[in-house]
Structure 1
Amino acid sequence: MSNINENMKLKDILFKVPAAADVFREVNIDFVNNGSDTLKDAYDAGHFNLENILYEVNELSKERIEGIDVSYMDEPSIIKYIGRKYNDDLLDELPVLNDYVEKLAKKYKKEDAEYDKVSDLFYNIYREMTVHIETEETDVYPLLTTYYEQQSEVTHEALKPHITRLIDEHQNIVSWFKQIRSLTNGYTPVDSNEPLNVFVMKKLEENENNIMTILHLENNLLFTPFR
């Protein structure tokens, strides 16, 4: 058991208990941009039951970690891991999902559901993440790998403006997903008997989970020497 407590930083909790990200998202804890805050800091700034969150996270800590545990990987390996596990699939999936979200918005245009706003927000995410990933794969990740392998001051300085811009983009993406989560009542379909509605809500949540994992690893690990 990891013995998670309220004075631990959010990023350190997630490195010990990756599944805690699901718990944090449900109560709007921004662990991507505020990873250096403690859980108590997040509680002071938010509205959730601290005792319940601690209980949930410590229960999760008892479970065996599935898949690859990044806490045992060095930075160059994590960079490769992000590219192989997430980036290629996202570049394929985001445009397809964007089309489905647009179809859902048109289908429910006359209903109370605010899927038109969801469609606009997800288009922003699709557009931002596509450029984001392509920039990282082409320019940033090769430089970042060189920096971690050689600890070059020249490479460090070359990376700074790139990292600053990427961190700003992370803030936008987190904000857009937060709004989508709110508009959809935590990705709850307005019609659970309608396959398109159920499918799109499920895929939106999966994409949030995957993208927040990437942004967390970047902000709270890979980019920390440049902040």
Structure 2
Amino acid sequence: MTSLTIDTQVSDIVTALPQSADLFRNLRIDYCCGGKIPLKEAAEQRNLEPEEVLKSVKLIEEKRDTRNSLEPSSFGAKTLVAYIQEKYHAGLREELPLLAPYVTKVARVHGENHPHLLRIQEIYKILRAELIEHTEDEDQNVFPLILEFLENPTHELKEKVKPHVFELEEEHDNAGRLLHELREITNGFTPPESACGTYRLVYARLEQLEKETFEHVHLENNVLFDRVREAI
């Protein structure tokens, strides 16, 4: 990524770092129609210290880069589970509620002329509910059971674990189908030429959600669950 400075345009910051839109929204800095001005100017218009705003942007960037810098497939089971929970489960609980208002706004403002946005809103609502329920079930019930089984692979624990793994993989498949539909109806998350900043932001963050969900599912299906199957 190009180094972000107080001279970087607000719209370019949001393009490079979509999650920064939440910060700008909270600070009431316009990143959409009025976003083509330097961060310094935008901050000063709101009587904010530009360097302090930039520092907040950099923290968001660092958090993202830290999450992306590790190679988890070689982790031990406990570390792998902790990594999945920190990077993906916590990430979903943070991102899904933050993105929801943008999805709703774009559907409300542009849905009449772009009806597929109403379907995006429907899919997002389903996906959000299913992913939150799914991750909570893993954290509270399935992951502790998997770790116990991998530590002590008894016949009794094996019979408890097997149906859970099958059920989770079915849920992963369903999430994958919803994400596939999102990609199809958004033309590969490519917004129309006339799309406003919020419209583009929704597409960028949906694409990021797809990417991270596929990484998340890969680590569970093809790394963690494979270890369970090998122990069975």
TM-score range, shorter chain: 0.5 to 0.7
Name the one with the larger helix percent: 2
**Amino acid in the other structure paired with 1:97:** L
Q: Which amino acid aligns with 1:133?
A: T
Show the counterpart of 1:104.
106
State the SS of the aligned residue for 1:151.
coil
Q: Which residue of 2 aligns with 1:89?
A: 91
Taking a change above 3 Å as real, the CA distance of residues 193 and 103 of structure 1, as seen in their structure-2 partners, is closer
Shift in Å, 1:198: 1.2
Question: Which amino acid counterpart does residue 186 of structure 1 have in structure 2?
Answer: G
Summarize the alignment of residues 69-80 of structure 1 with structure 2, pairs less than 5 Å apart: 69-80=71-82
Cα displacement (A) at 1:69:
1.4
> How many residues align structurally?
162
| Bigger Rg, which one | 2
- Hey, what's the Cα distance between the residues in 1 that align with 2:150 and 2:91? 25
1:132 matched to which residue of 2?
134
Which residue number in structure 2 is paired with residue 144 of structure 1? Answer: 146
Match of 2:157 in 1: 155
1:19 corresponds in structure 2 to none
Mapping of 1:1-227 within 5 angstroms?
67-112=69-114, 114-191=116-193, 194-224=196-226, 225-226=228-229
| Aligned partner letter, 1:189 | P
Find the residue that maps to 1:111 and give its secondary structure.
Answer: coil
Deviation digits for residues 8-52 of structure 1, max 9, x if unmatched? Answer: xxxxxxxxxxxxxxxxxxxxxxxxxxxxxxxxxxxxxxxxxxxxx
User: Considering only aligned residues, what root-mean-square deviation do their CA atoms show, in Å?
Assistant: 1.8
Cα deviation, residue 192, structure 1: 5.7
Aligned in 2, Cα 1:212/1:192: closer, same or farther, shift over 3 Å?
farther
Q: Secondary structure at the match of 1:223?
A: helix
Gaps of 5+ in 1: 1-65
Per-residue deviation at 1:75? 2.3
Check conservation: 2:73, 2:219, Cα contact below 8 A. Answer: no
TM-score, normalised relative to structure 2: 0.65
Q: What is the CA-CA distance between 1:114 and the residue it aligns to?
A: 1.0
Structure 2 CA distance for aligned equivalents of residues 154 and 98 of structure 1 = 42
Mapped partners of 1:112, 1:84: distance in 2: 36
**AA aligned opposite 2:182:** I
| SS of residue matched to 2:189 | coil
Q: Cα deviation per residue 1:131-177 (whole Å; 9 max; x = unaligned)?
A: 00000000011111112222233222111222221111111100000
Paired residue secondary structure (2:173): helix
Structure 2's unaligned 5+ residue stretches are 1-67
Shift of 1:191: 4.4
After the TM superposition, list the runs of 4 or more consecutive aligned residues in structure 1 that deviate by more than 6 angstroms.
none
